[in-house]
């Protein structure tokens, strides 16, 4: 529990940022279908493959706990389960208690470590289905290491229902782990190869070869992490180095007679090599471009967790030992370093954006006023690149203001890569907002005539002719006459 609290304190808590523009918005829509009458397609389509929004909304209805507190509770529970799962895995791989706790300590400090070129952290700073799925997968891995592999099956199925991509990757790793633990290598390689050949015939791949539209291609090009062969050298190093380290660990542990650790390291290595080969195949051929949004390189997230866990265990076993001063330096250096990096990244926001706390962020002040003082069916326009504005810190308007908006050119672009059917709508709305920084009253009136937008969020002081009902020192919320 102490490491859970420490992990949350170091990584911070920022509901409504980045992907929460989809997930938190979808939960609010489930709780109040009157919200988002103009733009629900930009989050609801993406949630069709997941039960996450239904689970959170159902929990709110069942318990009566407000959504803001539910989000914090689930985030805390996710972190606690991840810490517990890591501790259970460490207990199987290492006998020394100091090694086990050093592994847990390093994982919790490194929650916000970037995962190579995938645009992921080990853990998100807001409630994300990937956080919950990761916790469940780690519990499944601990069950397999304990010799109770059938207990892992329902856990992996639950992870798949919450986050299909993470669930599938978790199943893939657990497959390699079970085979390495319970069968000689040459036998399970032969069996896996035969099963793969037979299964391929049942995979419906026709949609992969459908020609994508130019607008979809345009949206895809904004996501550089989709293009594996355009990664920089250090991003490639971030993908290959962990695999080399686990290969070395396999040889080291095997020579020392640490059988379980050696087999675990081998499973991580084989899983990584296999998934990397799959990713290179999926992302290396133009004919398979439709597969890019599946983001196959995100398999590295699990490997980074295991790398931090095992690396910390080895530090505890061979370096920290029982020295209280070494432990103090270890905890201070890693936790302080990651804390400072998060404060730099979210410099315009409180480190812990807790429910009921008044924010000093001018964007969040504007969103809060809009949520409390505008009609539920209000339709807003704001700078399509507002997420990247100074001090905005990638907080989602939809998630926090709870109102419809014209498509933006940052987060909604990622949604379009997942849902090609939205490409034309996204393109039309983005083109209509080109040159936002030079907009005058006539431009806003044009948006109102074309899309039905009645409200805008603009810089303060606002453009002449707008009917402004609220402002702070940076922003104004105005009606379009």
Mean pLDDT of 290-296: 71
Residue 177 CB contacts under 8 Å (≥ 6 apart), including other chains: 141, 144, 145, 264, 267, 271
Q: Which residue has the tokens 């069942």?
A: 62
CA distance 61 to 53: 12
Contacts 24+ apart (CB under 8 A), 357-364: 361/391, 361/392, 361/393, 361/395, 362/391, 362/472, 362/473, 362/474, 362/475, 363/389, 363/391, 363/392, 363/393, 363/395, 363/474, 363/475, 364/395, 364/400
Q: What is the DSSP string of 381-441?
A: EE-TTGGGSTTTTTB-HHHHH-SEEPPPSSHHHHHHHH-GGGHHHHHHHHHHTTTGGG--H
The span from the CA of 72 to the CA of 13, in Å, is 8
The interaxial angle of helices 97-109 and 324-345, nearest 10 deg, is 20
pLDDT in tens, 343-398: 999 999 999 999 988 899 999 999 999 999 999 999 999 999 999 999 999 999 99
- 136, 152 contact by CB (below 8 A): no
- pLDDT 10s digits, 300-324: 999 999 999 999 999 999 998 888 9
What's this model's pTM, rounded to 2 decimal places? 0.89
Query: Do residues 33 and 25 make contact, with C-beta atoms less than 8 angstroms apart?
Result: no
Residue 441: CA count within 13 A, CB half-sphere = 9
Report DSSP state, residue 103.
H
The Cα–Cα gap between 303 and 261 comes to 15
Q: pLDDT digits over 6-41, tens only?
A: 999 999 999 999 889 999 999 999 999 999 999 888
pLDDT at 217: 57
CA distance 85 to 302: 12
pLDDT in tens, 230-280: 788 888 899 899 999 999 999 999 999 899 999 999 999 999 999 998 888
């Amino acid at each position: 529990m102490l490491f859970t609290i420490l992990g949350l304190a170091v990584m911070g808590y920022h509901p409504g940022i980045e992907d929460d523009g989809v997930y938190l918005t979808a939960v609010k829509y489930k709780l109040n279908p009157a919200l988002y009458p103009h733009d629900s397609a930009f989050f609801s389509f993406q949630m069709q493959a997941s039960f996450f929004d239904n689970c959170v909304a159902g929990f709110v209805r069942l318990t009566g706990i407000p959504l803001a507190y539910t989000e914090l509770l689930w985030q805390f529970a996710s972190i606690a389960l991840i810490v517990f799962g890591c501790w259970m895995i460490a207990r199987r791989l290492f006998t020394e208690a100091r090694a086990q706790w050093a592994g847990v300590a390093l994982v919790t400090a490194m929650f916000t470590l970037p995962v190579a070129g995938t645009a992921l952290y080990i853990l998100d700073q807001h409630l994300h289905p990937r956080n919950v799925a990761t916790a469940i997968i780690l519990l499944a891995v601990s069950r397999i290491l304990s010799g109770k592999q059938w207990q892992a099956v329902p856990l992996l199925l639950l992870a798949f229902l919450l986050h299909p991509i993470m669930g599938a990757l978790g199943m893939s790793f657990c497959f390699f782990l079970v085979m390495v633990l319970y069968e000689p290598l040459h036998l399970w390689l032969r069996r896996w190869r035969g099963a793969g050949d037979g299964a391929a015939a049942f995979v419906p791949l026709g949609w992969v070869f459908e020609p994508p539209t130019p607008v979809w291609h345009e949206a895809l090009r904004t996501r550089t992490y989709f293009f594996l062969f355009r990664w920089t050298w250090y991003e490639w190093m971030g993908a290959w180095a962990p695999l080399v380290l686990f290969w070395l660990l396999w040889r080291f542990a095997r020579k020392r007679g640490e059988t379980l650790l050696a087999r675990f390291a081998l499973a991580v290595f084989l899983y990584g090599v296999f998934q990397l080969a799959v990713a290179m195949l999926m992302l290396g051929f133009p004919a398979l471009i439709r597969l890019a949004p599946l983001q196959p390189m995100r398999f590295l997230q699990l490997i980074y967790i295991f790398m931090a866990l095992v690396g910390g265990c080895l530090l505890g076993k061979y370096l920290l030992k029982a020295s209280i001063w070494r432990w103090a330096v270890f905890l201070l250096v890693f936790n302080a370093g990651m804390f400072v990096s998060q404060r730099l990244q979210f410099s315009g926001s409180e480190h812990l954006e807790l429910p009921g706390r008044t924010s000093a962020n001018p964007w969040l002040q504007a969103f809060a006023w809009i949520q409390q003082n505008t009609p539920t069916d209000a339709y807003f326009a704001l700078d399509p690149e507002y997420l990247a504005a100074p001090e905005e810190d990638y907080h989602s308007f939809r998630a926090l203001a709870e109102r419809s908006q014209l498509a933006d050119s940052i987060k909604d672009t990622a949604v379009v890569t997942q849902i090609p059917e939205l490409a034309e709508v996204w393109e039309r709305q983005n083109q209509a907002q080109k040159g936002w920084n030079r907009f005058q009253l006539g431009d806003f009136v044009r948006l109102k005539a074309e899309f039905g937008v009645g409200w805008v969020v603009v810089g303060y002081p606002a453009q002449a002719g707008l009917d402004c009902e609220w402002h702070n020192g940076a922003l104004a919320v105005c009606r379009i006459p």
